[in-house]
Structure 1
Amino acid sequence: MEAILRSDDGPFADVLKIAVLRGGGLGDLLFALPAIDALSWAYPEAEIVLLGTPLAAALLDGRPGPVARVETLPPARGVHGPDEADDAPAVGRFLQRMSSERFDLACQMHGGGRYSNPFLLGVQARHTVGARTPDAAQLERNLPYVYYQHEMVRWRETAALAGAIAGPEEPHVTVSPRERLAGLEVIGDCRDGLAVLHPGATDPRRRWPAERFVELAVRLAADGMRVIVVGDGADAAIANGVAAEAGRRAGGAVASVAGRLTLPELAGVLSVADVFVGNDSGPRHLAQAVGAPTVAVYWVGNLINGGPLTRALHRVHLSWTTRCPVCGRDVTQVGWTAERCAHDDSFVTDVEVDAVYEDAAALASLMATTARLRGK
């Protein structure tokens, strides 16, 4: 911890342009937003440029917030995404272009630095900060990368290396009136409340069984709620299956819009939801960021790294699984220190429908009561 406890580790002088490296998925991006906000508070005159993915550009371009623009990362191993192959010529061109911008500060907010620290050094900023594992390249100021730490706290602590110590604890995404109207158009009539369900997750081990989402959708529909199921990519088939079976049992109150929404349209739908229910996934994190109450199913290890920090509007249901259901390997030894086993069986099958439904119904009722008190 020496790097952040030294008395001279305050803000850098004359910082007018900042690069932030953050690849990965939607949740990864959202976890970094509070740290980026902190940088904007510490350096209010600086232009902040996010070195991110096309997903980041789709969400943040033109949206109010601290990020002035997104520069889309080239295919680079361990930087763009976890399985991305290197495109050495594209990486070279990108780093040459970034170095010509003469950044005053570059912040690595993308993992332990084995690949991301050398990439960040290629930007040739005057100052560099970031997390690092023992085998990663040194930056000017370094935070030890310890796997079991909440990602939002990790990147806030990284921003603190540059003297950025103030700002929000959790991410916030401003939704435009146009996006909210688009969301209302997508969902149709929901006068008795809207529940949005997301049964997918990038990692199959994080997925609550689809039949549990079916049962939940049927119960919420029986309460008079409109139930919309969302998903994209590989999640779309799961979402459509859940909606089809729940719709067969509950009628027209359940529908799927999986695979039909852009990221801004998804933000609009989530912003008008009375409750979101899903796995530990990007849409859950986005739902919270746009102001929707959430109920989520988590494996306990993922809760440590990526769960909501507050409970007034955000509830979690935990599986305490510690060994692979197939081979029995200890699944708590994860991250950069250990390879996972090859099995994709769910870690969260022991979470029951009753408990998830009770929280979802309670939050939806709270939102309905709040709306009545406000005269909406």
Structure 2
Amino acid sequence: MNIGPIERIVIFRALQLGDMLCAVPALRSLRRAYPQAHIALVGLPWARSFVDRYAHLLDELIVFPGAIGFPEQQETDVHLPSFLRVMRERRFDLAIQLHGSGGVANDIVEGMGARSNAGFLKPGGSARRGVFVPWPDDLPEPARYTALMEHLGIEAHDLSLEIPLTANDERDCDTLIDACAIECGRLVLIHPGAQLPSRRWPVERFGAVARALSDAGCQIAATGSVSEAPLTARVANDAGPQAIDLAGRTSLGALAALVARARLIVCNDTGLSHVAAAMRTPSVVIASGSDTRRWAPLDHARHRVLADWPACRPCAFRECPYGHECALNVSVQAVLDAAFVQLGPIVAEETLHHARD
């Protein structure tokens, strides 16, 4: 790409944590190519903490006001004209659409008035000025965005995820470990939540897995947001009196630090799956509804993904209208079998010895 000096870059990706983590390899390659550029993210309000954490990759958050077709926020175009006017006044050199396959997201990026644009085109989509490539539907999520970087002439071979931890993160994690008497050597984190109900394995099955692992000597802690407290409470209750309910008690950084120290993560195909991948902690992921070819962790040995594939998958529904067979066809025993493989024979012996004591 030859558009002259690039000093101001804006990236459009107004999505949630797991989606943002999957874009980190592309952001990393972009920063490496333009170490002196000012790189701004147009994202959701929560992403202020993401930009703070990834200050080595991003310089600024510009809050996206929402638009029709973007369900992460109130769907209205009321604030869009003034937002685009302000963006045009910023005179960015390059605007990159990392939000998704194209369509209205490309219209928004073009409306920012940058000197050059880049992004993706849906099948059958009309050509755009700039570097717009066909949506690579056959690639895992992180590789889709590094593929665009490659088309921009940027080397982007490293697909590894990362979550930088601060001293405060480690200190908060240490405080939590002390307060809850957590033993990291036998800690299994169970995460029963997901943003969409159609992506959740039944909470009673998470509870059954938690109880079996607890009986085998693992220490169980259920994680989730404040809004997921009913789910984590059910899991902790089912796991037995020694289980720990951590709903709403961890920041992203403290949770990532705890994930890094845990033996195993058992979760839905949601943001915590990507946190486990970033921290290189073994996981068992029950993937209900989602496209595992797109969202599954890339290290298939460290991360075991269990999924059933009825004809309706991948799912486009918030609530499953078909009896949720993709979730129900993944048994508790299948998850336990995968969990004990991930824990390994040495850990299994340790936990069983603890259980006998």
Q: Same fold (TM over 0.5)?
A: yes
Question: Does the C-alpha gap of structure 1 residues 63 and 367 become closer, same or farther in structure 2, counting only changes over 3 Å?
Answer: farther
Residue number among 182, 187, 195 corresponding to 1:194 in the alignment: 187
Question: Does the C-alpha gap of structure 1 residues 349 and 141 become closer, same or farther in structure 2, counting only changes over 3 Å?
Answer: same
Is this contact kept in 2: 1:17–1:48, CA < 8 A? yes
The answer to whether structure 1 residue 353 and structure 2 residue 332 are counterparts is yes
Matched ranges for 1:1-376 at <5 A: 10=1, 12-79=3-70, 81-82=71-72, 84-88=74-78, 90-133=79-122, 134-135=124-125, 138-145=128-135, 147=137, 149-187=139-177, 188-191=180-183, 192-232=185-225, 234-246=227-239, 250-252=240-242, 254-299=243-288, 302-322=291-311, 330-332=312-314, 343=321, 345-346=323-324, 347-365=326-344
Letter in 1 for 2:155: I
Question: Does the C-alpha gap of structure 1 residues 94 and 207 become closer, same or farther in structure 2, counting only changes over 3 Å?
Answer: same
SS at match of 2:259: helix
* Deviation of the 1:298 alpha carbon: 1.7
Structure 2 gap segments, 5+ residues each: 349-357
Say how many residue pairs are matched: 343
* Deviation of the 1:37 alpha carbon: 1.1
Percent sequence identity over aligned pairs = 29
Is this contact kept in 1: 2:88–2:112, CA < 8 A? yes
Is this contact kept in 2: 1:31–1:171, CA < 8 A? yes
Per-residue Cα deviation, 1:123-148 (whole angstroms, up to 9, x for no partner)? 11111110122346724111222555
Question: Does the C-alpha gap of structure 1 residues 233 and 87 become closer, same or farther in structure 2, counting only changes over 3 Å?
Answer: farther
Letter in 2 for 1:297: I
Per-residue Cα deviation, 1:304-357 (whole angstroms, up to 9, x for no partner)? 1111111232121121222xxxxxxx445x66xxx8996174322212223322
Using the size of structure 2 for normalisation, the TM-score is 0.86
Partner of 2:354: none
Is this contact kept in 2: 1:184–1:272, CA < 8 A? no
User: For the residues of structure 2 that align with 1:169 and 1:163, how far apart are their CA atoms?
Assistant: 17
SS at match of 2:231: helix
User: For the residues of structure 1 that align with 2:117 and 2:267, how far apart are their CA atoms?
Assistant: 37
Letter in 2 for 1:59: F
SS at match of 1:186: helix
Partner of 2:355: none
Per-residue Cα deviation, 1:78-110 (whole angstroms, up to 9, x for no partner)? 34x45631242x323332332222211111011
Is this contact kept in 1: 2:201–2:288, CA < 8 A? no
User: For the residues of structure 2 that align with 1:358 and 1:331, how far apart are their CA atoms?
Assistant: 24
Is this contact kept in 2: 1:111–1:131, CA < 8 A? yes
SS at match of 2:29: helix
Question: Does the C-alpha gap of structure 1 residues 47 and 208 become closer, same or farther in structure 2, counting only changes over 3 Å?
Answer: same
Shifted more, 212-221 versus 146-155: the winner is 146-155
Per-residue Cα deviation, 1:161-181 (whole angstroms, up to 9, x for no partner)? 211232421321111232122
Is this contact kept in 2: 1:295–1:359, CA < 8 A? yes
User: For the residues of structure 1 that align with 2:211 and 2:82, how far apart are their CA atoms?
Assistant: 53
Is this contact kept in 1: 2:149–2:156, CA < 8 A? no
Structure 1 gap segments, 5+ residues each: 1-9, 323-329, 370-376
SS at match of 2:155: coil
Shifted more, 178-187 versus 280-289: the winner is 178-187
User: For the residues of structure 1 that align with 2:9 and 2:273, how far apart are their CA atoms?
Assistant: 29
Question: Does the C-alpha gap of structure 1 residues 62 and 153 become closer, same or farther in structure 2, counting only changes over 3 Å?
Answer: closer
* Deviation of the 1:299 alpha carbon: 4.1
User: For the residues of structure 2 that align with 1:15 and 1:366, how far apart are their CA atoms?
Assistant: 53
Question: Does the C-alpha gap of structure 1 residues 109 and 318 become closer, same or farther in structure 2, counting only changes over 3 Å?
Answer: same
Letter in 1 for 2:34: Y
